[in-house]
C-alpha cells in the first residue's frame, strides 16, 4: 500500500503546488498527532491544572513533541529529503518557524477566553477551533519552510 501511495502524482511531482498539497497532508498528520496529544493533556493528564493555564501548558507540551515529528515528516514527505540528512541549523530554523504554531493558538485562545471562556472547556469547540487555527497558518509555514528553512537543502 505504501508503494502505491508513493507512486501517486502528488508524491512524484516536485512543483511548488504539489509541495503545498503535501504540506497540507503533513499538516493533517501533524494535526492528528497534535490533537491526540492535546486532547490527552487537556482532558486527562493535566486535569490538576486550572483553566486557562491548562490550555497554555497543553499547547506548549503538544508543540514540543509535535515539532520533532513534524521536522522529519516535512523533510521526507514535503521536500523528499532523507530523514536524517538535515543539519542542526536546519532543525533550529524549523523549530523557530514552528513557534508560529505555538504562539498563534495561544494568542487566539487568549482572545477567545475574553469573549467566551467556556469554549476551551468544551471538547467539540476545542477541536473545531484548533483545526481552524492550524489550517489557517499552514500556507504561511510552507513558504517559510521553502524559502528559509530548507533552502540550502533544495
Average pLDDT over every residue of 50-73:
90
| Predicted pLDDT at 5 | 58
Q: Is the per-residue pLDDT at 65 higher than 80?
A: yes
> Could you give the CA distance from residue 115 to residue 99 in angstroms, rounded to a whole number?
24
Q: What distance in Å separates the CA atoms of residue 94 and residue 148, rounded to the nearest whole number? A: 9
72-87 pLDDT, tens per residue? Answer: 999 988 988 887 778 8
- Please say if the pLDDT value at position 95 is more than 80: yes
Reported as a single tens digit per residue, the pLDDT across 1-54 is 555 556 666 667 778 888 888 888 998 898 899 889 988 998 999 999 998 899
Question: What is residue 134's predicted lDDT score, i.e. its pLDDT?
Answer: 80
**How much is the pLDDT for 67?**
92
Which is more confidently placed, 49 or 131?
A: 49
pLDDT at residue number 48: 93
Residue 117, pLDDT > 90, answer: no
- Give the CA distances from residue 6 to residues 1, 9, 31, 77, in Å, rounded to whole numbers and listed in that order: 9, 8, 21, 10
8 A C-beta contact, residue 113 and residue 102: no
What is the pLDDT of the chain when averaged over all its residues? 86
Amino acid at each position: 500500500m505504501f508503494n502505491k501511495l508513493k507512486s501517486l502524482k502528488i508524491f512524484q511531482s516536485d512543483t511548488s503546488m504539489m509541495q503545498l498539497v503535501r504540506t497540507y497532508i503533513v499538516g493533517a498528520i501533524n494535526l492528528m498527532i497534535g490533537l491526540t496529544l492535546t486532547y490527552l493533556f487537556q482532558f486527562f493528564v493535566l486535569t490538576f491544572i486550572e483553566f486557562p493555564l491548562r490550555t497554555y501548558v497543553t499547547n506548549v507540551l503538544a508543540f514540543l513533541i509535535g515539532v520533532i515529528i513534524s521536522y522529519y515528516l516535512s523533510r521526507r514527505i514535503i521536500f523528499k529529503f532523507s530523514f536524517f540528512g538535515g543539519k542542526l541549523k536546519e532543525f533550529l530554523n524549523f523549530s523557530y518557524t514552528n513557534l508560529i504554531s505555538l504562539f498563534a493558538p495561544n494568542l487566539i485562545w487568549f482572545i477567545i477566553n475574553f469573549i467566551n471562556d467556556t469554549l476551551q472547556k468544551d471538547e467539540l469547540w476545542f477541536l473545531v477551533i484548533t483545526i481552524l487555527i492550524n489550517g489557517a497558518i499552514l500556507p504561511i509555514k510552507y513558504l517559510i519552510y521553502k524559502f528559509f528553512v530548507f533552502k540550502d537543502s533544495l
